[in-house]
Structures are given as C-alpha cells and as structure tokens.
Structure 1
Amino acid sequence: MLCHPAPPHRPGLADVDTWILDLDDTLYPPANGLAEQMKAKIREYLSEYFGTDDAGARRIQAELIAAHGTTLRGLMTTEGLDAHDVLAFEHRLDYSVLRPDARLVDAIAALPGRKFVFTNGSAYHAEQALPRLGLGEHFDGVFDILAGQLIPKPYPESYRRFVEQFSIDPARAAFFDDLAVNLTVPEQLGMATVLVGGEAAPGTAQYQVLAPRRWRVWDLPAFLLSLGG
C-alpha cells in the first residue's frame, strides 16, 4: 500500500460528481459514543423482548446480524415485528453528543455535484444527527433502511434500490463507509470507494491509496479538503 502526501484527486476522483457517505462512525467519530448508545439501546430492546440478560441479548444480536445483516431485519423476519416499533429506540438517544466539525462542513459543502447519506439507520436518525453535525443543508437525499425495504448494506439489493431511486451513475460516484464489507458492492458497481476511520500509524499520511479508485482514510475532512488541490 502506498502512502501519498499529495492531493488524491488525480486520477480516480476527478470525474466524480456524486458523493455517497455513510452516517454512523463516518460523518462523526466513534469517540462521541452515539453508535455505542445505539448498540446498547438495541440490546436493551432484545433483553426485554426475549426476557434475557445483556449476555443473552448480545448472543441473539450476533445471531440475527449473522443471518440477516441487521438486528432489525432479523427481528422482522423471525419475529414479525414492526420496523417502527423496533426503531423507536432512536427517539431515546442523546444526540447532544454530536458536534459540528467545521473542516468537515466546509469540505462537504465544497464537493461538486450531488451528495447523499446512505445509512442502515432510519431517516429519523439522519434527520436528528445531520443538523447537529452542521450538515443538515448539505445533502441532496438520505437513503435509509426503510427506503431499502429493510434490506441493509452490504446486501446488493439495497445498493441497487439506491442507484435506481436517485439515478446514480456508478462510474461517476464515490462511496464512503467505515466498514470494508459495505464497500464491496460499490466497487463491483464501478464506484470509487473510501474506507473511513481507525487509527493511522504514527508518522504516516492521512490516507493510503489501496488501488486505483480505492482509498483508506483516517482524517476524512483533510482528505475531502485535499480534493480541491
């Protein structure tokens, strides 16, 4: 893998005019704890529904995710639960932990073309999070788990629905996510992909070029700002 200190936009992203970004642990860092809040609330729901303790809830959650991609889809499929009932935990999250990152706001505002959030959460979750991140006015659309008909990333059907709904040209799109597994289908569709997050080794660049049109990025705002050269 090659480390590069220069702006990464030549080649690979020069022709991109559609920017697709995951929300949780991508547009905000894991350190603020919101994603952990979500996991804890889901486990609380499982504990109450199945009458088990936290260890049992973790086991059930792992089984549901392994078999169905997300806890929500697993509960819908195996228990026939209503999606809105399960997602009600989002209304009890403390979104005040989110703070704007001025560099990220400026960087996303400066991106040319359309910008979308693609999340396995709900539109409500995105509507609460984005304004608190200073990004409420900077996206052209949100594609959530309900728009995906409860089929989440990384299942191909979810991406196909997204591409069709927003008339995306994959060759002119870049997909950002904190999970490598969620980037496999975008790569297969012909999108540029950017794996976001984690800790860079001391003294290394803020991003790595993994392959043509594939990047590993530790500082998302710096990477996006560098696209302007």
Structure 2
Amino acid sequence: MEDTRPLSIRRGFDDTKVWIFDLDNTLYPSACNLFAEVDRKMAEYIVRLLDVPIEHARYLQKSYYHDYGTTLTGLVKLHKIDPHDFLEFVHDIDLSALEPAPELERVIASLPGRRIIFTNGSRVHAERVAGKLGVLHLMEDICDIAACEFVAKPSPDAFDRMVRRHGVAPGEAAMFEDMPQNLEAPHTLGMTTVLVHSDYDDHRAQAQIRKWRTLPDHIHHATDDLTGFLESYSAVPDK
C-alpha cells in the first residue's frame, strides 16, 4: 500500500536509540510456519486441560486470543492455569524450519544504540529462536511475558512495564511488530512504529490490513522485508 501521509506523521529514525523487536512472525518470516507449531501446541494444551475435542479446543483457543489479547491471558483468567507450565509446553517445538539469517544479523549489528526483544512468549523461546537466527548476541535483553508479570501486549500496561524495566525513553525508541493492534500503545507513548507484514492469517486484524488503502496514524511504517527495511532506514525521512 502507498503511504500518502505527510512527513509530519511518517516519523523517521534520527532520534532512535532503542530498537525493540517483537519475536514471532517479526524477527523471522511467517512463511516458515514456525508459529503454526506453537499454535498447534496451544490447542493440544487445552485438550489436555479441559478434556475436550480438538475442534472445541481450537475454538476456545481463538476465542481467548480474540477476547483477551492472548490465549494464555484467557486461560489464566478463566481456568487459573500455571502460566509457566503453559509456556513450557507450547514452546517445546522443532526449530528445524528456521534458517540462520546472516543478513539480518549484519543489519541489526549496524543499528546504533540498544536492541531489545519484547515478546508475549517466554524468554527460553526467544533465546532459542534468536539464537537460531544468529541475532541473540546482539540483543541487550529479552522482555518476555513473565518479566511483565503476565500482562500481555497489546495492553498499554505491558508497554509501561517494559519501558520502566528497561529504562526506555519512548521518544527515542522504535517498535517493530507484526500485529497492528500491538503498535497502538507504543505510538501513544511516542515511539516510532513499524508494522512487519505477516502471512500468518489467523487473526481478524490480518483481514483488516488487506482493506487498508493507507496506513493508520498509529503505524508510521510498514514492510514485508525487515532486513531490507533496516538496511535502508537511514534514508527514511525524519519526522
């Protein structure tokens, strides 16, 4: 889609000192279907927890995701599960479909300032995935859902917790995400926001993206090539 908005809205990166990356379907391309494995494991967890058929488990999984922001949040609120047990189960996946990304490693290494992974998943999962990609050593830290006391994106409270925990000045930060609703809070805080297009079509937000003719105000940039975008970021007009 073409971004026809004025440059005052299309913010740049001249002031960016903290680069914050979502993990799943953002740091790696959704085409590798890695998150589909996590998705399948979440349904399996619900089958075991509630002793329901897989079809009903899938229905509950998506209902909790849509209603509460994450499946985990719904399970905690409605079924009082141990979130650590859930995360350990759903992130026990095969990473063989994920390839090392030396070009992504090169461009992230060239970014000036700090780099943080901010994920609704677990630290262990983020470490495994970022390690396989070859970018883990470039990250200052990982802010996972446990570090936010299981308050998940897109809740503004999750972003407030991340900002406080890592001493981030929002006006000096850029947030990269594949889910557009997860960019509303960072935009409100004053971050530069980048939507990384995902082919993972399992949320109503993805259907809405296809109807866009221009980017909404809370999304300053969009790309389907994170590596290429980061490589050319210095050419993006400043705010």
TM-score interval for Structure 1 and Structure 2 normalised by the shorter chain: 0.7 to 0.9
Write out per-residue CA displacement over residues 20-50 of structure 1, whole angstroms, 9 at most, x where no aligned residue.
0100000001111110000000001111211
Aligned counterparts, 1:146-161, within 5 A: 146-161=146-161
**Letter aligned with residue 194 of structure 2:** V
Aligned counterparts, 1:1-229, within 5 A: 2=2, 12-90=12-90, 92-198=92-198, 214-229=220-235
Give the aligned length. 216
Structure 1 unmatched runs, 5+:
5-9, 200-207
Contact 1:90–1:125 at 8 Å: present in 2 too?
no
Contact 2:108–2:138 at 8 Å: present in 1 too?
yes
Contact 1:119–1:144 at 8 Å: present in 2 too?
yes
Judging changes above 3 Å, is the alpha-carbon distance between structure 1 residues 209 and 82 closer, same or farther for their aligned structure 2 residues? closer
Structure 2 unmatched runs, 5+:
5-9, 200-213
TM-score (normalised: structure 1): 0.87
Contact 1:103–1:222 at 8 Å: present in 2 too?
no
TM-score (normalised: structure 2): 0.84
- Overall identity of the aligned pairs, in %: 38
Judging changes above 3 Å, is the alpha-carbon distance between structure 1 residues 13 and 211 closer, same or farther for their aligned structure 2 residues? farther
**Letter aligned with residue 56 of structure 2:** G
* Cα drift, residue 213 of structure 1: 7.5
Contact 1:13–1:213 at 8 Å: present in 2 too?
no
**Letter aligned with residue 224 of structure 1:** L
Write out per-residue CA displacement over residues 76-102 of structure 1, whole angstroms, 9 at most, x where no aligned residue.
221111111111224530022211222
RMSD (CA atoms):
2.1
Question: Within 2, Cα distance between the matches of 1:81 and 1:222?
Answer: 41
The answer for the alignment partner of 2:207 in structure 1 is none
Write out per-residue CA displacement over residues 58-77 of structure 1, whole angstroms, 9 at most, x where no aligned residue.
11112222332211122122
Query: Is the partner of 1:195 in helix, strand or coil?
Result: strand
Judging changes above 3 Å, is the alpha-carbon distance between structure 1 residues 90 and 43 closer, same or farther for their aligned structure 2 residues? closer
